[in-house]
Amino acid sequence: MKYLLTSLIMFLSVAIGNVFAQSNSVTLLEKSTMQIDGTSNVHDWTADVEQLNFDISLDQSAVEGESLQNPVTALSLTIPVEGLESGKGRMNGKMYDALKKDKNPTITFKMSSSELAKTTSDTGFMLNTSGTLTVAGTSNEISFPVEGTIQDDGTFKFTGSYEIDMNDYNVDPPTAMFGAVRSGEMVTINFELFFSVQ
């Protein structure tokens, strides 16, 4: 009975969003940032990603040997569309409509592979990452580089960017003022993510 209760507690912890790396707990630190940068025929714009739901597995032993190895063994990410914030209510509404929020309330990425491309220092490395990105109900396989660093305090830092053509996801770029203001088709996702492992 005690074993059953422990198993149930562990299952519920995962279900509500706790993240584990083997037997260790992994925490996404508050200083992490992700944003979407775009253009329009009037001015550039930025939307901050204010909600990030991660499920990541980090192999601590991969960075404790004589040479660095790839520490990322699994990764999935879910972003609620309503977690995108441009700082302008009207722009948010246009963005949510373009992303078909009512039918597809989340943007997701599920990693299929991650390979160590090279080491950049005793504590730095580059990863080639591939996976499935789903936006507005359309999924595409993508690949992009990620730079990783082990910080002095033992936390992991990952930075990178990826450019998206909204047409690839059947998303019509938002417009405003009866079409006088038109967003560009290309947007770039930029991220700087920090994880602690305990």
Residues 32, 179: Cα–Cα separation, whole Å:
35
- What does the domain layout of the chain look like in residue ranges? 20-197
With left for phi above 0 and alpha for psi between -120 and 50, is residue 136 left, alpha or beta?
Answer: left
Low-confidence ranges of the chain (pLDDT < 50): 1-23, 177-180
Residue pLDDT, tens place only, 178-198: 343 567 789 999 999 999 987
3-class SS string, 12-35? HHHHCCCEEECCEEEEECCCCEEE
Residue pLDDT, tens place only, 145-156: 999 999 999 899
Q: Whole-structure pTM over 0.85, yes or no?
A: no
The CATH class of 20-197 is mainly beta
Average predicted confidence (pLDDT) for the chain: 82
